[in-house]
Amino acid sequence: MNAPLPIYLDYAATTPIDPRVAEAMIECLREPELQGNPSSMGHEYGRRARARVEQARAQVAAAVNGRPECIVWTSGATESNNLALLGVARFHADRGKHIVSSKTEHKAVLDALKQLESEGFFVTYLKPGADGIVAPEQVSEALRDDTQLVSLMHVNNEIGIIQDVGAIGRICRERGILFHVDAAQSMGKVGIDVQAMCVDLLSLTAHKSYGPKGVGALYVRRNPPVGLRPLIFGGGQELGLRSGTLPTHQIVGMGLACEIAEREREADVARICALRERLWTGISKLGRVELNGHRTQRVCGVLNVSFHGVEGESLKFALTDLAVSSGSACASASDAPSYVLRALGRSDQLAQSSLRFSLGRFTTEAEIDAAIAAVTREVERLRAIAPATSPAK
Amino acid sequence: MTERREYSALVERHFAAPRNVGRFEPAFDVLVARSGRVDQGIEVVLSARIEAERIAALRHLVYGCPHSIAAASWLTERLVGATLDELAQWRWREAATALDVPPEKWGRLLAIEDAVRGLERAWRERASSRARTA
């Protein structure tokens, strides 16, 4: 018999697929009329598949207040980030080779920037405050005459804080500098408005908002055009920006997931916020715990907590009842302390003794209460066997 | 957890239910040794009660990874009955083998061996102090 599954509190790593989204995807996989190549406009199969793809494009565009023709399908946020950064930097290399970003970006941004540095670009990595926030003034001060691009994430995947991308976008627009936002964690949690936020490029993914894995999108402002060099060459799909046969079922799933996320955002946020507060209240009763990131400028579903007096690996091993993360799922294969928490000034030891609880649409009050009980039991047990005079105790 | 290290069954058992947790109250027949620091990833306190020139019982307190917790717990059973000479001969590799500790964690076992060396020193000091007062 299979062991019971742990309580899932890792929504920031990926979300389960909403059953409504799954149904729409299954329809695409089941119905012969939807199984044409969306680029085969010469027959009805292709045209029907294309109609679904364009409907999804409109759904995604509406969720970010953009125009459908600005949406480019990709395989996910990693590809979107790579396309935005490498594509813009290489296209505009003659305008300048300076880029501004931050130390707490996702690896999909940091590693793409590292690649650009190896190609001769210069990157300024802003250090956020202890609360994880990058102040707009920091961006202003970092801009140079040869700055061609600023790239910042909207919502941090490890600590859940929300950057003021609107204020930063306006600074960039005034200076004529392109602004890219990694919004992989934003959809359905915080409003996205590419017009009001003066965003030129915006990375999105489906699987963080109850859609399928393996599909994402890059919003690329078209008027005036941004200028982007593609990374993938072939059939010239997506106006030549991203070649490859479009996966109709994945795209339909992403479109519906974004529509639902935006339509139900207010209700989801209110409910999940209450659960997160319940979790924090319960955990903080342990004492000697610290919330990582800004207290209020944060999304509803993420709670990153450092536990004094317990060693990180033991804490994680003890909590077999919970599916939680010690940092980004994309980087947690190593035991190294989170670079995000280190950038916030946490010690190696405390960064390593930190857990990210992330809640979502299907989290229940009973699961939160069970999580509080498990964390309380194991932290108290591990603290009880630690030396009493230990500075961490 | 997102990532999960493999642990031996013996590590899992000692981690889930560490043996002989705590410390003995200070007394002439009680030896205490401490090693490691939290920022080194392990801190351990061993205390041993000596009877008839053998270790009658051990207690431990430990901050560390599952291997460290299991090794300290395992040691408190392993060294019961040891003489001073036997204690002096104990080395960390025995714990590494018994608990199947991976090489990247051997440094933590060295800290536990340091605590054992501390017990040995305390035992020798106790012996020489007793010889002086005799």
Picking from A13, A318, A387, the nearest residue to B63 by CB comes out as: A387
User: How many angstroms separate the CA atoms of A75 and A87, rounded?
Assistant: 16
How confident is the model at residue A301, as a pLDDT?
95
Q: What is the pLDDT of residue B51?
A: 96
Binding-site residues on chain B for chain A (CB distance < 8 A): 1-5, 7, 15, 18, 21, 34, 38-39, 41-45, 61-66, 68-69
Provide mean pLDDT across the span A370-389.
Answer: 94
Give the separation between CA A348 and CA A255, rounded to whole angstroms: 41
Written as one letter, the residue type at B46 is L
CB contact under 8 A, B63 and A311: yes
Q: What are A243-259's pLDDT values in tens digits?
A: 999 999 999 999 999 99
For residue A305 the two structure tokens come to 């907590």
Of A347, A348, A392, the CB nearest to B63: A392
Q: Does the active-site annotation cover A258?
A: no
pLDDT of residue B131: 78
Nearest residue in A to B40, CA atom: A349
Residue A81, phi then psi, degrees to nearest 5: -65, -45
Contacts (Cβ under 8 Å, ≥6 apart) of A351: A306, A337, A338, A341, A342
Find the mean pLDDT for residues B60-75.
97
Evaluate if residue A15 carries a pLDDT over 80: yes
Distances (CA, A) of A171 to A1, A127, A166: 58, 18, 9
pLDDT at A331: 43
Q: What is residue A133's DSSP assignment? A: P
Nearest CA distance, B101 vs chain A (angstrom) = 14
CA distance A32 to chain B (A): 38
Select which of A172, A273, A300, A330 is catalytic: A330
Q: Is A3 exposed, middle or buried (0-12, 13-18, 19+ CB in 10 A)?
A: exposed
Tell me how crowded residue B108 is: count the other CB atoms within 10 A of its CB: 25
| Radius of gyration of chain B, Cα coordinates, nearest whole angstrom | 15
Q: Which residue has the higher pLDDT, A105 or B39?
A: A105
Q: Is B18 in contact with A385 (Cβ distance < 8 A)?
A: yes
Q: Which of B6, B15, B38, B76 to mutate to test the interface with A (most CBs of A within 10 A)?
A: B38
pLDDT digits (tens, 9 = 90+) for B80-121: 999 999 999 999 999 999 999 999 999 999 999 999 999 999
- Average pLDDT across chain A, whole number: 94
Strands A7-8 vs A322-323: parallel, antiparallel or unpaired = parallel
Sign for the pseudo-dihedral over CA of A48, A53, A59, A65: negative
Cα atoms found within 13 Å of the Cα of residue B131, Cβ hemisphere only: 6
**Residue A329 reports pLDDT greater than 80:** no
Q: Which residue of A has its CA nearest to B17?
A: A381
pLDDT, position A389? 53
Which CATH number is B9-124 given? 3.90.1010.10
Which residue type does B81 have? G
Nearest-angstrom CA–CA distance, A281 and A206: 31
To which residue do tokens 């915006």 refer? Answer: A202
Do the Cβ atoms of A16 and A8 come closer than 8 Å? Answer: yes
Give A306 to chain B, closest Cα distance, Å.
15
The nearest CA of chain A is from the CA of B102 a distance in Å of: 14
Could you state, in order of their start, the residue ranges of all structural domains in chain B?
9-124
Domain borders along chain A are 7-15+264-384, 19-263
Is A314 in contact with B65 (Cβ distance < 8 A)?
yes
Burial of A354 (0-12, 13-18, 19+ CB in 10 A): buried
Q: Which residues of B touch A316 (CB under 8 A)?
A: 1
- What CATH architecture applies to the domain A19-263? 3-Layer(aba) Sandwich (3.40)
List, in sequence order, every residue forming a beta bridge with A292; answer none if it has no partner. Answer: none
- The CATH classification number of A7-15+264-384 equals 3.90.1150.10
Question: Hey, what are A159's tokens?
Answer: 């600590």
Contact B39 A384 (CB under 8 A): no
- Pairwise CA distance, residues A255 & A72, whole Å: 12
How would you list the strands of the sheet with A178-182, edge to edge?
A71-74, A216-220, A201-205, A178-182, A147-153, A98-102, A122-126
Contact B49/B57 with Cβ under 8 angstroms?
A: yes
